[in-house]
Structure 1
Amino acid sequence: MAGNRGVVYKGNGQVEVESIGYPDLTLHDGPGVPKANVGRKCEHGVIIKNILTNICGSDQHMVRGRTTVDEGMVLGHEITGEIVEVGRDVENMKVGDIVSVPFNVACGRCKNCRKGETHICLNVNPEKPGGAYGYVDMGGWVGGQSEYVMVPYADFQLLKFPDKDQAMDKLLDLTMLSDIFPTGFHGAINAGVTVGSSVYVAGAGPVGLAAAHSAQLLGAAVVIVGDLNEERLKQARSFGCETINLKEHADVGEQIDQILGSPEVDSAIDAVGFEAYGPGTDYGAAPATVLNTAMDVVEAGGSFSVPGIYVTEDPGAKDKDAQYGSLKVNFGLGWSKAHSIHTGQTPAMRYQRQLMNAILHEKADIANVVNAQVISLDEAPQGYADFDSGVAKKFVIDPHGVFKK
């Protein structure tokens, strides 16, 4: 039997690459696994040899100590790989298939999955709706920043790439289908972006950049990206976005006015989430600032979406209310402007196939948009540290040396 190694959370600010158990088609007891999920049989699943698996900003929330994640959890929910074993009940997937794994663990059988709401599946997490790989409070499914990983409900979940050689040629783009490209696209769709739209995207990390590119694909006339990090804003400008440096310009509406001739946009996308900081040179933690900015700059009757993560428990928050997800949001302004607000995790499966086709037919350039950089599994801890420092890169782990030279 092959060995297995993975990226393991070791406490506040620390990850290490360790030997972990080689997966089988059972969810075993371990860090973060609810008692009701221990021993769960997954003959509907497959074992995947990870070809590429990415570091996500969502992972950083846990590593920074801003969640209640258990030490010892194997991290990672962005998985692309080759099937090396199939369960007894798998009918349509076979050994050798190259597949993308949506980050949502979903059964395909409950009423939410049947509606396409795979981000709130009712059967994979006994503690609340929704499951994910290697993430706090999401069912205890083992993460995929590893050499091998088990994926349940394979016939329902997996997106098989139609041509193996073509997939390998485009895999640095296709690996973004597991999370950030669908998440950015979902953010743009839920914000109501359409041909001729003006859009404000808060945050120039990988999800924000993916949202900005998605808005362009949907026909937006102007995409404005705001961030405190000039290096990341430079990356946004590299593919045609307007930008606002929030360290230099605290008034977002005033800067939008300089760009559009009006202080309001048709829609906005919050790609930051609960670890937001206020604008200006003396910025500090302000978890509601992006939500309040969106209510300020989105026109009356407009929409904004929130693909950025907000949590019910944030032990690292300075404000006592924020520690339990209670934020000081100017809801009265949003109500008075009749805003439509869309929240929640992304049902990644909903968009994977169409975005795959956009990549394969060279209509989307997502790897360049997010400045993907391939690293080895052993380099993952440094990748986490570099990403946390704010570099304008999307770190992609190559566990078996397929891409890393």
Structure 2
Amino acid sequence: MANNHGVVFLGPGKVEVQSIDYPKFVNPAGKSIEHGVILKVVSTNICGSDQHMVRGRTTAPKGLVLGHEITGEIIEKGKDVEYLNIGDLVTVPFNVACGRCRTCREQATGVCLNVNSSRAGGAYGYVDMGGWVGGQAEFVMVPYADFNLIKFPDKEKALAKIADLTMLSDILPTGFHGAVTAGVGVGSTVYVAGAGPVGLAAAASARILGAAVVMIGDMNTERLAHAKSVGFEPIDLKKSDKLEELIEAVIGVPEVDASVDAVGFEAKGHGQQHETEAPATVLNSLMAITRAAGGIGIPGLYVTEDPGSKDEAAQQGNLKMRLGLGWAKSHRFYTGQTPVLKYNRALMQAILHDRLPIAKIVNATIIPLNQAPQGYTDFDHGAAKKFVLDPHGVLKKAA
């Protein structure tokens, strides 16, 4: 049996690459299963959602193996796996989904009813998401493989674009979900809050959906400069606490057709308050700038408990939202985990046929697994990069 190493959460501000168990065909309750596969992890990414746990802003337990963005090669399979084979290169949705329950049948795989005993929805290596072992590792087990996994049709071609295709596991479908649910279409004016990887993916998605102009707001100078370099209109939120004025300076009117929250619950204020945490500020500002009957997509993460917040209400997942404004403007709000399977096949095709250079857009930066702790530190300090871990050196070789 091979050795296995993975990125382990050891407490606020600390992760470490440690020796971990080689995966077995068992679910988190210890029950043997035969519908899974074991993957040699080809690529696995550091996500902003992981950072919330590492910062101590969730109830994540020490010892959790992190990682929900996974691409891999099948090296073992259970006897109930019929349509995948050893050697297949596959993309793994971050959602763990059974494919059999009511929500999965309705394509709402982000809230599968059978993979988590405590609530709807499961994910790899994430707090309160069912206890499934994470994939920032050399090897990982993926359940319900026939349902969850998409095989890349041409392995050689896929490896040549692996830095792009690794984004299919989460951030690209998540950004796309935010844009779609906000109602982005041909000729739309769009504002995206947050110039991190998910925000950039949402902006790229808005562009491929036909938006006329895509603005992206942040307070990080490096991230704004990168957003501009890949064709988006940067909005420096340090310049004013009135987002309407910043929007009007770009498009001539203080409102947009659609907006996307790619920030989530650790948001900070605008203008002079840009250093002050304000959990509901993004949602409130998006209601202010989104036109009447417009849409707001909310792929940014909001948690049921935030023990690290200084806001007492936010510690219990409560936000001080100006919901009356959104109601008065007949806004559509769409929240929740992205149902990756709803989008990833189409997005795969867009990548393979050179329509969506997402690795360049999010500034994919490949590092070996043993450098993951430094990657977490750099990402937490606001690096304008998407860190991609290369556990076996496959990406380095492919490049």
The answer on whether the counterparts of 1:9 and 1:16 sit within 8 Å (CA) in structure 2 is yes
Separation of aligned partners in 1, 2:230 and 2:368: 27
Partner of 1:235: 226
Partner of 1:130: 121
Q: Deviations over 1:117-157 (max 9, x none)?
A: 00000000010000000000000000000000000000000
Q: Deviations over 1:221-247 (max 9, x none)?
A: 000100010111111111211111111
Count residues in correspondence: 396
Partner of 2:320: 328
Partner of 1:374: 366
1:119 aligns with 2:74: no
The answer on whether the counterparts of 1:42 and 1:153 sit within 8 Å (CA) in structure 2 is no
Partner of 1:12: 12
Partner of 2:140: 149
- Pick one of 75, 86, 94 that aligns with 1:95: 86
Letter in 2 for 1:174: L
Structural mapping, 1:200-239, within 5 Å? 200-239=191-230
Q: Gaps (5+ residues) in structure 2?
A: none
Structural mapping, 1:6-405, within 5 Å? 6-27=6-27, 37-283=28-274, 284-404=276-396
Partner of 1:31: none
The answer on whether the counterparts of 2:162 and 2:395 sit within 8 Å (CA) in structure 1 is no
Separation of aligned partners in 2, 1:371 and 1:42: 38
Separation of aligned partners in 2, 1:319 and 1:187: 26
Q: Deviations over 1:104-129 (max 9, x none)?
A: 00000001000000000000001000
Q: CA deviation at 1:403?
A: 2.4
The answer on whether the counterparts of 2:299 and 2:337 sit within 8 Å (CA) in structure 1 is yes
Separation of aligned partners in 2, 1:394 and 1:314: 25
Partner of 1:33: none
Separation of aligned partners in 2, 1:57 and 1:141: 19
The answer on whether the counterparts of 2:240 and 2:272 sit within 8 Å (CA) in structure 1 is no
Separation of aligned partners in 1, 2:31 and 2:168: 27
Q: Gaps (5+ residues) in structure 1?
A: 28-36
Q: Deviations over 1:72-105 (max 9, x none)?
A: 0000000001000000100001100000000000
Q: CA deviation at 1:66?
A: 0.3
User: Secondary structure of the equivalent of 1:349?
Assistant: helix
Separation of aligned partners in 2, 1:273 and 1:365: 25
Letter in 2 for 1:3: N
Q: CA deviation at 1:173?
A: 0.3
Separation of aligned partners in 1, 2:26 and 2:176: 33
Task: Flag as ranges the 4+ runs of structure 1 deviating above 4 A.
Answer: none
Separation of aligned partners in 1, 2:64 and 2:31: 18
Q: CA deviation at 1:55?
A: 0.2
TM-score by length of 1: 0.97
Q: CA deviation at 1:57?
A: 0.2
Partner of 2:3: 3
